Every structure is written in C-alpha cells, then in structure tokens.
Amino acid sequence: MRQEKLKGCHFPKTLVYQCVYWYLRYALSYRDIEELMLERGSKKKRTVGTSWRMDETYIKIRAKSYYLYRAVDKERNTIDFLLTAKRDKKAAKRFLAKAINNNGIPEKINIDKSGANKAAIEEYNKENDTSIEIRQVKYLNNIVEQDHRGIKRITKHMLGFKEFYSALVTLNGIELVRMLKKNQVETLVKSKNNTAELFYSLIS
C-alpha cells in the first residue's frame, strides 16, 4: 500500500511524525534520531555477558519514589530494566525473572548490601534449581551505579512524571535508545522482540 507523503518531503508522513515524536518526547539529538532510523527493523540485540551487576535507582512520580531496577554486565551492556512501585524481595525477584527470561541464566550477580536483592536471588536459585553466585563487592557495582547516571541526566531535564504509565513508557524509550547507542543490536537473543520492535511498540 502506498504511503502518503508530506508536501516537499521524500519520506512517508508516518515516518516523519515518528521522528518528530522521538525528538520531542525523549530529548534526543538529530544524530540520535539518525541512528535510530538506521537501526529501523534491521538488527537484533546482542547477547550479554554472564557476570551481572544488579541495582535499583529511584524515580519520582507525583513526588513519590518509585524504583527502576536495572542490570548491566561487566562490559556495561544493558541487560534489562523494570519500573516498580516498591523496593523489596518481591520486586527484585520479579525483575530477576524478567532479566533471566530475556537473557538466560547468569553465572554470578554482584549486588550491593541489599538484603532484599540477596533474598530474591537465593529464592530464585531454590525454586529453579539454579546456582547463581551472589557477590556483594561494592566497587564492582560502580559500573551499574554510573550507568544509572545516563538515565538521570535525561529525566532531570523533564518536567517530572505525573503518571506511572507515562514514566514507564518514557523510561523504556530512554533505556532502548541507550542500548542502541551502546551498539547492543547485533545478534539474536532469547527475547521475542528485537530492540527496534520493542521501541516501535511504545509509540504505536
């Protein structure tokens, strides 16, 4: 089916609107937009390492703290992320299950002194007959803590989140763009969707 074009433009109208939406919604540069269009429907997320750094950072929604669980490997590749209302064992376990479902079982996970995160991994091991090694070495978690800053740099320039869903969609977009910038779009992994498909599903 032929797609309608804007007057004087070589690209379909829907594509132009999509680029404008990205630019306004996620505080992206023109170079970011160009990179996204190059990635459009062409590549798969690269397999991450088996040594993970897992941590959470707070996100304000209507002046209330919510928690963005995140994990990266030792090469700083983003493994997964999950926005939750609480920071406890249940939330940590939910994130862990999501990350493993999308990326496979890691050999070891480094965490901070969080008892909830440790309990979540221990319970996952027990219930799934796995033997994920738990490490609590502070300097090793500097990698994920520094990676949090990339998210914070973008969100601090926004006016603030008013609803959980809008925060969820925006943070998913930010995380996926950062994965593209980290060149994590090379080979197929267990996730059902590739990075671009996940991103486009957010704005459909």
CB atoms within 10 A of CB 18: 19
Residue 176 has pLDDT above 60, yes or no: yes
One-letter amino acid identity for 28?
Answer: L
Residue 13 pLDDT greater than 70, yes or no = no
Q: Are 105 and 133 in contact (CB under 8 A)?
A: no
Whether the CB-CB separation of 78 and 178 falls below 8 Å is answered with: yes
- Say which residue the tokens 């033997």 belong to: 131
pLDDT for residue 72? 92
The token pair at 67 is 């928690």
Say if residues 45 and 195 touch (Cβ distance below 8 Å): yes
What's the sign of the alpha-carbon dihedral 40, 168, 128, 115?
positive
Q: At residue 69, does pLDDT exceed 80?
A: yes
Structure confidence by residue, pLDDT tens digits, 16-64: 666 666 666 666 665 666 666 655 545 556 677 899 999 999 898 888 9
Q: How far apart are CA 57 and CA 32, in angstroms?
A: 25
Instruction: Read off the pLDDT of residues 134-171 as tens digits, 9 standing for 90 and up.
Output: 999 888 888 898 888 888 888 776 667 888 988 888 88
* pLDDT tops 50 at residue 200: yes
Which pLDDT score is estimated for 100?
95
Instruction: Label residue 45 exposed, middle or buried (CB < 10 Å: 0-12, 13-18, 19+).
Output: buried
Q: What is the CA radius of gyration of the chain?
A: 18
Which pLDDT score, from 0 to 100, does residue 88 have?
A: 95
pTM score, whole prediction: 0.67
Domains with residue ranges and CATH for the chain: 51-181 (3.30.420.10)
